[in-house]
Amino acid sequence: LRVNLFAIVSEKSVANLRSDLYKKLISLEIPFFEERRVGELTSRISNDVTQIQGVMSITLAEFVRQVITLVGGIAIIVFTMPRLALTMLLTFPLVVIAAMFFGRFIRKLMRERQDMIAQTNVVVEETMQSVQTVKAFTNEWFELNRYMKQLKEAVDISLKAARYRGAFSSFIILVMFGALFFIMYEAAMLVQAGDMAKNGLVDFVIYTGIIGASIVSLGNFYTTIVSAVGAAERILDILDQDVEIELTPLEPLSPEERFTGHISFRDLKFSYPSRPDIEVLKDINMDIQPGQRVALVGASGAGKSTMIQLLLQFYKHETGNILIDGKDIRDYSILKYRQNFAVVPQEVMLFGGTIRENILYGNPNATEDDIKEAAQKAHALEFIEKFPEGMETIVGERGVKLSGGQRQRIAIARAILNDPAVLLLDEATSALDAESEKVVQEALEGLMENRTSIIIAHRLATIKNVDKIYVLDHGEEVEEGNHEELSAIEGGAYNSLAKLQFDLVS
């Protein structure tokens, strides 16, 4: 009953801990994830929690039993043989001091061990995610050595912690048996002097043996619990982080909550938290009307993607303002705010499930007809129906079973199903071949219709028909206008790019 009760409590507690930890992780801001690696975070929610589970399910139950035995034994001796009990209790301060001394080192070492295990998970995660690159460069042996190095360091730390645990257990045994022999000698003297009955001596020896065994067991359990504290501290490091949002079930946007799509950037300046001395955006001023198609053009590092990230509130700007429909974006509920957006990135990350699940991610409440209509508009239904499993086709990890063009069209179908007020296209066709680009571009044209769209583009051919183009250079807005206007500025930034790509003759 005792073991079963503790198992129920521990399993439910650990399940709640995993749930709270995952909930916390997905509620944190983007900068948190940029400072940590995926393998480290998965280690926290798996290995660290598992170590705590082991303590809660078995060790804690035994710990409580030994505490009850110890308290009961001491109580009996104190009431029946107070003089000998006092001598025995004098050993307790030594045990407590030793526990504090050894426990501090063991906890520190176990924190380091959990960190090293997290690093081994990082190596596995990176190797599995980049397995084609690993094999292309024949670096299997290199990755194995990298993993073994991290594993060896984790083992070395574990063995060092084990030596501390062994020393602590030996100390406890030495103190307890030394005290036991001394007390038995004193008890024998009392019997010889006639101050204690012989049967009292026998009872005392039995109870003292029970107490000694409990203390030795508690010493072992204590080191195990302290080891788990190291894992718990790493989990608390995450749980103590400030969340970006409070998670609640999503409700469809009401007409009042849906944006018209009027976007304004006013005197916007920005530096990344990790590089505060480098100004990425400098005095950006833009005004995008509802339904307009606007392109951001510039060399890599000009600040185009940063503007998208700020618009999505992945980062918080300190200087200047970003307004949507005349209201500062920081004044909106962030969940309702982001529901108004859809993003089609250059590198589409699909989930490893079915095509249907990936499209449905844009709107989990959509019907089967909605899904097919979105796929049709995205020019994806044709290739989907060619698969034997159709919508139930498994796309594989990150969508590896689909081509680049197919992944892009799935992402577009997902965005169509989302029906956003504002569409963000981050170089959505730059990695595609000419044929795939043509199909994807046609799908994007339909998606951009009657909604505010911001396009990041390197290929100027894809933005010739947009309403306005902003040219960025090292974080500054240097030109604005449509394709014809900017192409006519001899020596201008856009003109130079156009000459390179179109062989434009002035």
DSSP string, 299-318: STTSSHHHHHHHHTTSS---
pLDDT confidence of residue 262: 93
Token code pair at residue 331: 């004044």
Q: What is the mean pLDDT of residues 479-501?
A: 84
Q: What is the mean pLDDT of residues 285-309?
A: 88
Q: Which residues contact 462 (CB under 8 A, 6 or more apart)?
A: 429, 437, 441, 455
Please give the order of strands across the beta sheet that includes 263-270.
281-288, 263-270, 319-324, 327-328
Q: What percent of the chain has pLDDT over 90?
A: 8
pLDDT confidence of residue 263: 93
Higher-scoring residue by pLDDT: 180, 470: 470
Distance of alpha carbon 425 from alpha carbon 176, whole angstroms: 72
pLDDT tens, 316-331?
888 889 999 999 999 9
Quick check: 238 and 21 in contact, CB under 8 A? yes
Higher-scoring residue by pLDDT: 307, 14: 307
Quick check: 359 and 371 in contact, CB under 8 A? yes
Residue 506 in this model has a pLDDT that exceeds 60 = no
Q: What is the mean pLDDT of residues 261-268?
A: 92
The region of weakest confidence among 123-127, 132-136, 442-446, 459-463 is 132-136
pLDDT confidence of residue 58: 64
DSSP summary character for residue 478: E
Higher-scoring residue by pLDDT: 193, 409: 409
pLDDT tens, 412-454?
888 888 888 998 988 766 656 666 677 777 777 877 888 899 9
Domains of the chain by residue range: 1-240, 263-503
The CATH number that domain 1-240 falls under is 1.20.1560.10
Distance of alpha carbon 98 from alpha carbon 494, whole angstroms: 73
pLDDT confidence of residue 505: 41
Q: What is the mean pLDDT of residues 405-417?
A: 86
pLDDT confidence of residue 468: 92
Quick check: 24 and 74 in contact, CB under 8 A? no
Tell me the CATH number of domain 263-503, given options 1.10.300.10, 2.30.29.30, 3.40.50.300, 3.20.20.140. 3.40.50.300
Nearest to 325 by CA among 270, 285, 288: 288
For the ranges 27-31, 188-192, 216-220, the maximum mean pLDDT occurs at: 27-31
The mean of the pLDDT values for the chain is: 82
Could you give the 3-state DSSP secondary structure of residue 460?
Answer: helix
Q: What is the mean pLDDT of residues 357-383?
A: 88
Q: What is the mean pLDDT of residues 216-220?
A: 73
Quick check: 457 and 448 in contact, CB under 8 A? no
DSSP summary character for residue 44: I
Residue 34 in this model has a pLDDT that exceeds 60 = yes
Q: What is the mean pLDDT of residues 454-473?
A: 85
Q: What is the mean pLDDT of residues 172-181?
A: 74
Distance of alpha carbon 111 from alpha carbon 103, whole angstroms: 12
Question: Is residue 289 very low, low, confident or very high in pLDDT (cuts 50, 70, 90)?
Answer: very high
Q: What is the mean pLDDT of residues 347-367?
A: 86
Could you give the 3-state DSSP secondary structure of residue 288?
Answer: strand
Q: Name residue 456's amino acid.
A: I
